[in-house]
Amino acid sequence: MSAFSLQMPLVHLHRCRIPRVGPQRARALAAALADFLGLADPQRVTVEDLLLYLPLRYEDRSHLARIAELRENMWASIEVVVRVTGSYAVKGGQLTIFELSATDETGQIRAFWWNRPWLERTFPRGARVILYGQWRYNVPRRCFEVENPDFEVLTDEDDVTAAIHTGRRVPIYRKLGPFTTRLLRAIFYHLVHQITAENAPETLPEETLHRLHLIPRHEALRQIHFPDDETPLEDYNEARSPAHRRLIVEDFLRLQLALGLRREERERSPKGPRIRVDDRIREVVRSILPFRLTEGQRHALREIVRDMCSPRPMNRLLQGDVGSGKTIVALLAMVVAVENGYQAALMVPTEILAEQHARNIKRLLAQTPYRVELLTGSLRNAEKRQLHEALARGEIQIVIGTHALIQEGVRFHNLGLVVIDEQHRFGVLQRAELIRRGYNPDVLVMTATPIPRSLAMTVYGDLDVSLIRDLPPGRTPVRTFLRTEEARPAIYRFIATQVRAGRQAYIVYPLVEESEKMDLLNATQMADHLQRVVFPEFRVGLLHGKMRPAEKDDVMRRFLAGEIDILVATTVIEVGVDVPNATVMLIEHAERFGLAQLHQLRGRVGRGAAESYCILLAHDLTTPEARERLRVMVETTDGFKIAEKDLEIRGPGELMGTRQSGAPIFRIAHLVRDRHLLELARHEARRLLARRSQLPELAPLLEHIRRQPQYGLTSIG
Ligand code: ADP
Ligand code: MG
pLDDT tens-place string over residues 412-427: 999 999 998 866 544 4
pLDDT at 519: 57
Cα separation, 135 vs 150, in Å, equals 12
The residue contributing the CA closest to ligand 1 atom 24 is 472
- Strand 442-447 and strand 315-320: the pairing is parallel
pLDDT at 460: 63
pLDDT at 659: 34
- Cα torsion angle, 229, 233, 236, 241, sign: negative
d(CA 670, ligand 2 centre) in Å = 29
Site to substitute for ligand 1 among 291, 298, 359, most atoms within 8 A of C-beta:
291
pLDDT at 118: 83
Q: What percent of the chain has pLDDT over 90?
A: 51
Q: Which ligand is nearest to the CA of 579?
A: 1
Site to substitute for ligand 1 among 285, 324, 327, most atoms within 8 A of C-beta:
327
Tens of pLDDT, residue by residue over 482-495, are 999 999 999 999 99
Mean pLDDT of 547-575: 85
Counting atoms of ligand 1 from 1, which one is nearest the CA of 293? 23
d(CA 603, ligand 2 centre) in Å = 10
Question: Does ligand 1 lie within 6 Å of residue 332's CB atom?
Answer: no
| Pick from 10-24, 160-174, 379-393: least confident | 160-174
Tens of pLDDT, residue by residue over 418-473, are 998 866 544 445 666 677 677 888 989 887 666 666 566 666 666 788 889 888 88
Tens of pLDDT, residue by residue over 105-130, are 999 999 999 988 888 888 999 998 88
d(CA 284, ligand 1 centre) in Å = 20
Site to substitute for ligand 1 among 607, 612, 640, most atoms within 8 A of C-beta:
607
Query: In this model, does residue 578 exceed pLDDT 70?
Result: yes
Q: For the residues of 672-709, what is the DSSP string, one character each? A: TTTHHHHHHHHHHHHHHHHTGGG-GGGHHHHHHHHH-G
| Pick from 196-200, 515-519, 552-556: least confident | 515-519
Q: Which ligand is nearest to the CA of 330?
A: 1
pLDDT tier at 531 (50, 70, 90 boundaries)? very high
Higher pLDDT, 399 or 353: 399
d(CA 293, ligand 1 centre) in Å = 9
| Pick from 557-566, 579-588, 596-605: least confident | 596-605
Question: Does ligand 1 lie within 6 Å of residue 318's CB atom?
Answer: no
- Cα torsion angle, 607, 612, 618, 623, sign: positive
Query: In this model, does residue 37 exceed pLDDT 80?
Result: yes
d(CA 577, ligand 2 centre) in Å = 7
Amino acid found at 101:
S
Tens of pLDDT, residue by residue over 663-693, are 456 778 877 778 788 889 989 999 999 999 9
Extended beta strands in 500-633, E state: 504-508, 540-543, 566-569, 582-588, 613-618
Are 185 and 154 in contact by the 8 Å Cβ rule? The answer is no
Higher pLDDT, 235 or 517: 235
Question: Does ligand 1 lie within 6 Å of residue 607's CB atom?
Answer: yes
pLDDT at 111: 96
Tens of pLDDT, residue by residue over 286-297, are 999 999 999 999
The residue contributing the CA closest to ligand 1 atom 10 is 323
pLDDT tier at 661 (50, 70, 90 boundaries)? very low
Q: Which ligand is nearest to the CA of 326?
A: 1
Extended beta strands in 165-253, E state: 169-172
Question: Does ligand 1 lie within 6 Å of residue 599's CB atom?
Answer: no
Radius of gyration of the chain (CA): 30
Cα separation, 669 vs 290, in Å, equals 46
CA-to-CA separations, 434 to 271, 410, 417, 589, in angstroms, rounded? 12, 11, 12, 41
- Measured at the CA of 322, the angle between CA 362 and CA 647, to 5 degrees, comes to 140
Query: In this model, does residue 574 exceed pLDDT 70?
Result: no
Q: Say which DSSP state 226 is in.
A: S
| Pick from 32-46, 86-100, 312-326, 698-712: least confident | 698-712
Q: What is the pTM of this model?
A: 0.68
Are 141 and 99 in contact by the 8 Å Cβ rule? The answer is no
Cα separation, 356 vs 402, in Å, equals 12
Question: Does ligand 1 lie within 6 Å of residue 472's CB atom?
Answer: yes
